[in-house]
Amino acid sequence: MNYIKIVLLFLLNPAFLNAHSILDDWSGAAVDEVYQRPMHLYEKACQYNNMEACYELGILNIQEYIKNRSNDNALKQGIFYLDRSCSGDYANGCTALAMLYITKDFKQRDENKAIMYLEKACSLNSNFACMALGEIYEQQEKQDFAKALMYYQKACNAKAHEACAYIGIAYHEGKKVKQDFAKAEEFYRKSISINPNTASNYINIFELQLVQNKEFDKTLKSKFLKYFKNDKQSMMYYEMLDILQLISKNKKVGLQTWSTRYKGMKMNEWNFDTIDMWINKMHDNKIKANLIKAIDQFKNY
């Protein structure tokens, strides 16, 4: 994901802005019971060190600036209040400032400031900030994937399932870190344990088990079928891997049945590199030939 491109969506996202929208007055009453106008409400609450209110004030001002780029006062006020909320350890304030400073068309763009604010937000357990830091270090001209991996790992440890899956892919492909199928499966499983509703994690584990000549994990297979038996795209990939496993055991399979069942569907998203590597190392020439024939059919499907 390109975090630079989503900065405006971040700043304007109602779900994000209203995630903690009920502020408490210093007296204990809900602030919207005391003040009629939102800006007045937030200003008073911010004065009493309610960091969420300072954040909301900052966002409201930044929104005004986005609507009118010549409104420098709104920008100044937005930065002031977001910085105040960040200084008060409100992670969303730090993240919002970082997204502002990393935006390409922002006249005060400063990647170092963005990293500084993201590092603080990440230290305050913002998974979004940790993942954004990983993305920045990965995409910089002088790529530092070791540092990127550190931040992805922190997000994964904080139960960001996307970060766990991404680390799994990195170890699976072996392009940015040394290829390690055991670590790849470990992180795919972590992602599943956090959120079992992402089919690609299961599929990737089954591919790893295939190329290591292991049986598909029965428990994982049962879980996969429970969640995705009606997901035709996921089942197409799963059944392809199942067919390849049967061929590797020198068993007959019906490729035509698979082709008929998934007629009109595409394999465009599938990367065959790991399977090709496995087949190239195959010693049994008969099985190897049958696998190559099947793979050619899948590739051209």
**62: containing domain:** 1-121
Residue at a domain's end among 103, 121, 139: 121
Q: Is residue 102 part of a domain?
A: yes
Q: Is residue 278 part of a domain?
A: yes
Please tell me the predicted confidence (pLDDT) of residue 105: 79
Q: Is residue 136 part of a domain?
A: no
Q: Is residue 51 part of a domain?
A: yes
Confidence band, pLDDT 50/70/90 cuts, at residue 228:
very high
Higher pLDDT, 37 or 107: 107
Q: Is residue 35 part of a domain?
A: yes
Please tell me the predicted confidence (pLDDT) of residue 141: 74
Please tell me the predicted confidence (pLDDT) of residue 23: 31
Residue at a domain's end among 97, 121, 145: 121
Give the number of other CB atoms < 10 A from CB of residue 278: 18
Q: Given the structure tokens 């900065």, which residue do they identify?
A: 7
SS3 percent helix, strand, coil of the chain, rounded to 5, is 70, 0, 30
Please tell me the predicted confidence (pLDDT) of residue 104: 81
Count up the domains in the chain and report the number.
2
Q: What is the CATH number of the domain that holds 103?
A: 1.25.40
Q: Is residue 74 part of a domain?
A: yes
Q: What is the distance between the alpha carbons of residues 278 and 208, in angstroms, rounded to a whole number?
A: 10
Give the number of other CB atoms < 10 A from CB of residue 154: 20
Q: Given the structure tokens 């591919």, which residue do they identify?
A: 207
pLDDT tens digits for range 277-301:
999 999 999 999 999 999 999 998 7
The burial class, CB within 10 Å (0-12 / 13-18 / 19+), for 37 is exposed
Q: Is residue 176 part of a domain?
A: no
Residue at a domain's end among 121, 145, 169: 121
Higher pLDDT, 186 or 138: 186
pLDDT tens digits for range 95-143:
999 999 988 878 899 999 999 999 999 999 999 999 999 999 988 877 8
Higher pLDDT, 185 or 12: 185
Higher pLDDT, 107 or 4: 107
Q: Is residue 161 part of a domain?
A: no
Q: What is the distance between the alpha carbons of residues 98 and 230, in angstroms, rounded to a whole number?
A: 41
